[in-house]
Amino acid sequence: DEEFNELCFEFGLELDEVTSEKDIISKEKGEEKAKGASEIIIYKIDVPANRYDLLCLEGLVRGLQVFKERINLPRYEKIIPAEGEGQRLIITEQTVQVRPHAVAAVLRNITFTKERYDSFIDLQEKLHQNICRRRALVAIGTHDLDTISGPFTFTAKPPSEIKFKPLNQSQEYTASQIMDLYRTDSHLRHYLHLIENKPLYPVIYDSNGVVLSMPPIINGDHTKISVNTRNVFIECTGTDITKAKIVLDIIVTMFSEYCEKPFSVEAVEVVYPNGKTHIYPELAYRKEKVKAELINKKIGISETPSSLAKLLTRMCLSSHVIGNGNHIEVEIPPTRADIIHACDIIEDAAIAYGYNNIQMTIPKTYTIANQLPLNKLTELLRHELAAAGFTEALTFALCSQEDIADKLGMDISATNAVRIANPKTAEFQVARTTLLPGLLKTIAANRKMPLPLKLFEISDIVVKDPTTDVGARNYRHLCAVYYNKTPGFEIIHGLLDRVMQLLEVPPDEDDGYTIKAAEGSAFFPGRCAEIFAKGQIVGKLGVLHPDVITKFELTMPCSALEINIEPFV
């Protein structure tokens, strides 16, 4: 186990845990339920999300064998059948509205065993969840070619006109009935929404009108594959042609190893509605050139070009030195759709070299980290406010429109609030423009606590600002509230004086701070003041209006202070 763990780490994977079915069940459901479960050791391996070629045992073992230089990289080839002998998939124009793309391939004379068959089904499921985005972008169908006869037609029809026996069912249903049948199915119900409200449902027929599948929901029972299947017809339909090609390439490269002629795939001709044809799978190899010095520089090593080429070849990227010896030509196989840019090749070279073998060096640029001045001031103020007898609260940065507008007696348009385009709950519709509602809601949730309640928060608020690149701006606010049988305005005023004393701002008009009577919709008339400092209004303090207090489900008077602390940094 330890050796395998080491190997996984060297290859850029992580052996998550060594367990067994019995262990898993006993952890989740207790010892009783685990009785009789298998005790065969299972390795759980974490695979990076971009490495679709490692999602099944076949690909993983092949990758590790090449990495250990035990086998050479296999060469995948597509066999194009003689004229008129190959399979064809005809796409009709009805599919454009639902799932416009389809690709297909055939695995000839394949030999399945129970393990290989399970792995084949498992890989499809993993791809469905991963690159296919739960079948929204691509849906995979695999069929026993000997039970059907081409050419095949990919079309779309009204649900009432589609009728077939779905996989593992005993009778025929129409498409509408199938939808109802699987509405309670724990596995398939998650995919129904993909086509449910479309006027036409996608469907694939063979030349005799036998239904192969109704993507992305279910295959037909007639074409179901088993351990004894010899020829497999694979179709991938979807809304994203690039992803469909990748998925098809991955499936055929992984399992063509079990064909009579290993690593060979029979091509299928796909005919588009406009009459054009294309041969799939593409199984495209492509060449990229990378400078050896670039690889060395980015990783921080100094290897010769030939040893770098050898490292890349171990990562399934067949490479050799070209030109005057400083360029490396890398061949990207069809299994590696994740190689998009030179940096992907460099990353593989680094994995093969071994992250632990890269020498640690002190960076050439010498920088000293420091706390952001605004955060430093925030930290200092938090301690002092706590020392002044106030309790810190941390409230959500998102709130409902009522909280910052209606409940404070303002109009939502006047708040300049940033809205969430698709809020999941009514509580989180906008970003807060003031900290006050969060504190008042905190008090409402703690009404059983002994009085007085003294709370504060120092956090960011967000307002729209067309002058910034993101269209909004954050301000760091300090807000404090005092809730008791009497309004306690003098307590809040005293807190303001204490904060200013700490900020070394004297109480005078010229270069200090003053407060002037003002009106605020959330405050009691004649009990509100604006705070002037640094030549600007920095905030307000006062006694809250009874309407505001009742809207937040409170029953006692409350005074509040809210200032922007950024001018004092």
pLDDT of 481-521, one tens digit each?
A: 999 999 889 999 999 999 999 999 988 888 889 999 998 88
Assign 563 a pLDDT band (cuts: 50, 70, 90): very high
**pLDDT, mean of residues 218-246:** 93
Whether residue 246 sits in one domain with residue 99: yes
Whether residue 310 sits in one domain with residue 227: no
Helix spans in 77-223 (H) = 114-129, 175-181
Q: Is the pLDDT of residue 308 over 90?
A: yes
Does a structural domain hold residue 456?
A: yes
**Domain end call among 298, 332, 357:** 357
Mean of the per-residue pLDDT values of the chain: 91
| Residue (of 25, 4, 26) closest to 16 by Cα position | 4
Does a structural domain hold residue 545?
A: yes
Whether residue 504 sits in one domain with residue 458: yes
Question: For residue 274, what is the domain's CATH number?
Answer: 3.50.40.10
What is the reported pLDDT for 394? 94
Whether residue 205 sits in one domain with residue 99: yes
What is the reported pLDDT for 310? 94
Whether residue 274 sits in one domain with residue 338: no
Does a structural domain hold residue 54?
A: no
Query: What is the SS3 string spanning 372-391?
Result: CHHHHHHHHHHHHHHHCCCE
Q: Is the pLDDT of residue 534 over 90?
A: no
pLDDT of 457-489, one tens digit each?
A: 999 999 999 999 999 999 999 999 999 999 889
Whether residue 85 sits in one domain with residue 40: no
Whether residue 379 sits in one domain with residue 503: yes
For residue 265, the tally of other CB atoms under 10 A from its CB is 27
Whether residue 531 sits in one domain with residue 438: yes
- Cβ neighbours of residue 88 under 8 Å, at least 6 residues apart? 150, 151, 152, 268, 269, 270, 271
Whether residue 308 sits in one domain with residue 159: no
What is the reported pLDDT for 412? 84
Does a structural domain hold residue 384?
A: yes
Whether residue 521 sits in one domain with residue 484: yes
Considering just the CA atoms, what is the radius of gyration of the chain in Å? 33
**pLDDT, mean of residues 299-314:** 92
**pLDDT, mean of residues 70-76:** 92
Question: For residue 536, what is the domain's CATH number?
Answer: 3.30.930.10
Bond into 281 cis (ω within 30): yes
Does a structural domain hold residue 27?
A: yes
Q: Is the pLDDT of residue 127 over 90?
A: yes
Question: For residue 19, what is the domain's CATH number?
Answer: 3.30.56.10
Does a structural domain hold residue 67?
A: no
Does a structural domain hold residue 427?
A: yes
Q: Determine contact, residues 351/295, Cβ cutoff 8 Å.
A: no
**Domain end call among 228, 259, 280:** 280
Q: Is the pLDDT of residue 402 over 90?
A: no
Report the C-alpha gap between 366 and 372 in whole angstroms. 18
Number of independent structural domains in the chain: 4
Residue 139: domain span: 77-280
**Domain end call among 357, 384, 418:** 357
What is the reported pLDDT for 293? 93
**pLDDT, mean of residues 31-59:** 87
Query: What is the SS3 string spanning 487-529?
Result: CCHHHHHHHHHHHHHHCCCCCCCCCCEEEEECCCCCEEEEEEE
Report the C-alpha gap between 105 and 102 in whole angstroms. 11
